Each structure stands twice: as C-alpha cells, then as structure tokens.
Structure 1
Amino acid sequence: MVWPAPAKLNLFLHITGRRADGYHLLQTVFQFLEYGDDIRFAIREDGAIRRHGDVPSVPEAADLMVRAAQLLKAETGCPLGADIGITKRLPMGGGLGGGSSDAATVLVALNQHWGLGLDTDRLAALGLALGADVPVFVRGVAAWAEGVGEVLTPVAPAEPWYLVVKPPVEVPTGAVFGAPELTRDCLPITIPDFLSGRGSNVCEPVVRRHFPEVGKVLDWLGQHGDARLTGTGSCVFVAFEARASAEAVMTGLPATWQGFVARGTNRSPLLAALDRACAAG
C-alpha cells in the first residue's frame, strides 16, 4: 500500500515573541494539499530499518523517515522492522513541510502495519520530538497553530486550488529565523481575525532581501492574486477558485521555475489512507 505524505501551506505566519531557548513563538494556519510524496513499506522480521529511494543530500541516518521509525521502535519495543521506499516530489527548503510530513506518515503507517495501537495523541507527542511541524501532519486536520507550532486548534478555511511555484533556490530556515531584521513582535490575532482576512507572512521581507529570486516569484504571481510565501521556504502560492485558472497561469512560468497545481484540503490525504488501511484490516 502506498501512503501519502502531503504538502502543507502556511496561510499566514506571524512571530509574536521568542523563548529563552531561542525558539520563536508564532501564530500560523496549516492547510494540506492534495499533492506530496508517496511512501511504501515492506515489513521486516529482522527489526532493521532501511530506506530505499533517492533523497538528495540527506544521509539515511539523518532522514526523518528513518528517525521516526527508529523512535517508534524504541518507544514501543516493537521487534519488527521495515523497508521504507519514497517517491520524492516535495522540494527541499521549499516550506512545504516535506520532511515533517514524511516522518508523520511513517509514524502513522507503521503504527498500523506493526499493530501497535498507539492513539493520535501519543503519535503526535512522538512527532514533536522529531520536529515542531510533525504533530499537525500526524493529526491530519487543518489547524490554527501557536507556541512553536505545536499548540493546535482545528480550523476550516476555504479549500481553493493553489498554484505553488518554486524558484531554483533553497531557503534555510535558520537563515530566516536568525536574521536580525525579522519581525518578532507581532501583536497576537485571533482565528476570527484570520478568517476575516487578516494575517501575512512576516518572513517575506527577509526572504526577499536575502533571496531575490523568491522576490521575483512573489512579484510575478502577485499579478494573479494574493501571492504569499509559505513558511520560511522558497515556495510561493496563490489561490484560485478554479483549477483551470491556476493551470492557465502555470503555463506561463519561466523555464527555470518549477510549479504545480493542487487543491487545498482541511482533511489530510493521510487520514483517508489510514481509513482504507483500517477497513482492509
């Protein structure tokens, strides 16, 4: 069975402060896309965890998929292992949550395949040990997020079609969060504020300054709607009511940019896969 690891968008991103340990306090909304990586599993009796598939520049031992599987084994004492294969579509450094989504899918899928029976709260807690974005992928519902991104409240924004564009650059999260000019004192807003149209991505000015090619994408897509940066990555998105409209704009992309069109969804494709797996026994 193939398990999806969907992309996410940050529909806005405000930073409201900074903890003593250096982590930033934020407000954001996560929404999933019907697009992402595909992950396959073959269960091993020898307990080994092996990755298969090309993941450029990520050593196997450092891969969040492998770390997620190893963490699940360590926490439960499960004697089984897994061969994990991936078809990678989500770009590195794009702000689409690819690594976190892959880790969440491994936790959810192996919990099912290994027959562990851990509930969502336990899996989300394990995910948090791997990264602040992993719990939202484990829970699988669009969410208003606070804290460092782990305090989640379900929300239901509109589910438009998105054109997502990535220029040929990667934006390291550390470069953005470490920038002295980054706005870190946004006044908190509320969910009704967001749903009424408030909110922006305060990382955009920093990324524009240090990665001009991303600024070019923001300007180009901005001719067709409210173009926004997702997270702290290099991907930019704009919403459309109709798929055909998004695809028409995509035909004009400069040759050096990559893009795709996908529907936004408030229920992750991972949950649909879990439903199918449970029904199949």
Structure 2
Amino acid sequence: MSVKIDKQHELGKLIERFTGQDGVHPTSIPSLFLIRESIITEPISRVNEPSFCIIVQGEKEVLLGEESFRYGSGNYIVASVDLPVTGQVIKASPDSPYLALKLEFTPSEILEVLSDRDIQPGKRKNAKRAMFISEVEPSLLDAVIRLSFLLDNPKHIPILAPLFKKEILYWVLQGLHGEVLEQMALENSNASRIRNVIEHIINNYEKSFRIEDLAELANMSVASFYRHFKEVTAMSPIKFQKQLRLQEARRLLLAESSDVADVAFKVGYESQSQFSREYSRMFGFSPRADINRLKENYI
C-alpha cells in the first residue's frame, strides 16, 4: 500500500510542476489534461466527454441526473459517452490542492484494444450506467505514471504516448466495470445504439423531437429505448436535452451580452417564462441573477 501512496505522491508532484496555478491545463500529450484547484469550487455544469480521470489529492463530486458520484485520492472515474454533468471540487486547500489527471478517449480507441483481445462484436447485453468509479490498481497507476512522465521527455511522446494510452484503456477494460466501455464501443450493442442517439441529441439539442423517432434511430421499441437510455444516462431523453439546453444558455449568457429572451430562443425554448423557471431550478438563481453573480466572482 505504501508503494502505491508513494507513486501517487510522485504523480502529484508532476501535476504541481506542470500546472503551477489553478485550472484545467492541456499538455503536449494529445487528450491528456492536468487539473489543479486550491479551493473548493462552485458546481460547474458541462458535457463530460468520454474520459478517464484519476484523483491524486483532494475530493470531487459529480452529479449525473439525480445520481451522485463522489471520489477522491486513489480513485478514478470513467465516462464512456458524452454526458451532461455538474461537478464540484469538495476537498481542496492552498496547502493541499486538488490534483487530478484526465485522459479523453474515443470508441475507436476502445475498439482497437478489444480487437487485440479478440473480442467478437455483436454482443447485445443490457446497457449499463455510462459513468462509474473504481479504485486505482497498481498496474493501472504504473501505466498512468509512464504516460505522464513523458511530459519530461517530449521527444518520446509521438511513439510512446499512444502505447501507454492503450495500456491504460486495457487495464480499465480489465477492471470491475470494464464491460461498460466494451459495450459502448461494440457497434451492435444496446449501449452503442444509445450512444448514437446521445450524439444525435447533442448535435440537435435546440430542436424538438419525438421519443418514437429516437427509438427508431436506436432501432428499438419505445419502451426498450426509454429503459436503456435512462440506464445509460440516469435521466430521460427529455431531461437530457433540457440539461444540454440550459448549460448552453448559461455559456451564452456568460460569453455575450445577450437578452435572456434571445438566448432562450436560441437554445430551443418558445417560452421565456418556462426557460427562466427551468434555469432557476437547475442553477438555483434566475438567469440574470446567476450571470451577475458569476461575473462578480470572475472579477
């Protein structure tokens, strides 16, 4: 156990060295990000891309629908598909900052690992929740450390980074919840059919849709589609779309000096009063009060 703690400490020192200040920091390794926060943060709503995230120090809570995922040092969290979530660092201080590493991946990268394991496509199992937490095993931690320390030797990144990333995905697939990734990548699985619908909703979040049309896109009955979608995302298709709309509305209001009514229309609402009610329910403040509050905090 002490060896594992020493390795996490070593990884933490590297994150501190390559960040230096709070925030999410891209690196010279494609799809690898280092994260540091020295204070407890406000809840941040965003679409979480398919990714693997390991916490080295501190704690974080992620809300997916009404479900809470809380994890800390020595744990990792995986999102196997794009998901609208709300995340908050809940344990951090200047003396002991929150330190984490995030590695984004694609279904094709998962398929590449599966093909090397000679996994036959076409298994149609029940879809499972697309987000899970596990304890970091030593073999997985070793692969993460090898990838991260390429930042000290950037000339080796083009050759070795893809190999180490593949090893990380391999160990996640070998883990307790590896089947979640496996099913999301296999094209004929129920999970991958839901993934296709999720991509469709994300690309067309401002448009109205019928559940029957989404079920047809997934090649499922309405009842089967609704059940699998809720199992994967922890929410209904309508709530999924609503969260996307409200997250984008918040981004637009922060980035532009737009009228609330104009933003509501842009993200697909026909009624400004309905938009304001749902915005307040999700973020705890009316649109204008929320944006004023956030802008004051940024100054």
Q: Give TM-score scaled by structure 1 length.
A: 0.32
Q: Which has the higher helix share?
A: 2
Q: Give TM-score scaled by structure 2 length.
A: 0.30
Answer 1 or 2: higher relative contact order, Cα 8 Å, separation at least 6.
Answer: 1
Higher radius of gyration, 1 or 2:
2
